[in-house]
Amino acid sequence: MMRAVLASWLALVCAASATTTTIPAGLEGVTIDQKLDAQVPLDLEFRDESGATVRLADYFGEKPVVLSLVYYECPMLCTLVLNGLVGSLKALPFDVGDEFEVVTVSFDPEETPDLAAAKKETYLSSYRRDGAAEGWHFLTGSAESIDALADAVGFRYRYDPERDLFSHAAGITVLTPSGRIARYFYGVEYPPRDLKLGLIEAADERIGTAVDQLLLFCFHYDVTTGRYSAAVMNLVRLGGLATVFGFAGFVLRSNRDRSR
């Protein structure tokens, strides 16, 4: 029940810029602005969980990337985001590090690689697939790099010095291999079917089966909800094609029967 209430509240926060809903004090401007097709600056430097200096470009080039912005000492919401993400990843037929990469970045510049390493160990233990350690990256960085990345993907958050907490919305972003923003998914739970379709589209359909490509035809991405919904006209067209092919098969069989 608590998760459902929280998810509903998050949906309101994420849509705040497009609605007249009254936002609680302290949450003004806390949202996720969609910047579909925008380029993320891949030259930004961060530190990985071992403390080594890395660039975002190190994780791009060949595969789509799932990006999550959290902070590792968040008391509740970020844990729900990462729990929801790992739950969806476990349900996918694709493997982290094989068909796609996952990059988790702390937006608290005070957090350290040690915290990142601890989070990585926790979620790799939950994910339990070979090769994931090379495909799921937990980063920390300077305020300048964090702000540049957050601005590029439209992630708006605020720091509350009195409570020493960050106010932020929840969601993940799917990026193309070249670092362009392909899809947003809001909230703390990400339907595996939607995430799968998002990855397939972001990869320019280089991953997935013929059935997956058919699903892409039948569903379209709804930017207002961050989900894939049935494309009615595509389903009608598909049904029409099935009728045509079915009728053609009937005619062919009839002609064969007459020629015997």
Which pLDDT tens digits describe the chain residue by residue (260 residues)? Answer: 444 434 444 444 444 444 444 555 556 678 999 999 999 999 999 999 999 999 999 999 999 999 999 999 999 999 999 999 999 999 999 999 999 999 999 999 999 999 999 999 999 999 999 999 999 999 999 999 999 999 999 999 999 888 889 999 999 999 999 999 999 999 999 999 989 989 998 998 565 454 444 444 455 556 666 565 655 444 334 344 344 344 444 445 555 555 55
Q: How far apart are CA 214 and CA 245, in angstroms?
A: 16
Sorted by where each begins, the domain ranges of the chain are 2-206
Only one residue has tokens 């990256």, namely: 137
Which residue, chain included where needed, has tokens 């339990």?
128
Single pTM value for the model: 0.74
DSSP for 197-252, please give it: HHHHHHTTT-SS-HHHHHHHHHEEEETTTTEEEE-HHHHHHHHHHHHHHHHHHHHH
105: nearest Cα among 61, 62, 63, 74: 74
The per-residue pLDDT for range 35-65, each reduced to its tens digit, is: 999 999 999 999 999 999 999 999 999 999 9
Tokens 């960050």 -> residue: 166
Per CATH, domain 2-206 is 3.40.50.2300 = no
Q: Do 47 and 55 touch, CB atoms closer than 8 A?
A: no
Name the residue among 11, 64, 48 with its Cα closest to residue 202. 64
pLDDT tens, residue by residue, 78-120 = 999 999 999 999 999 999 999 999 999 999 999 999 999 999 9
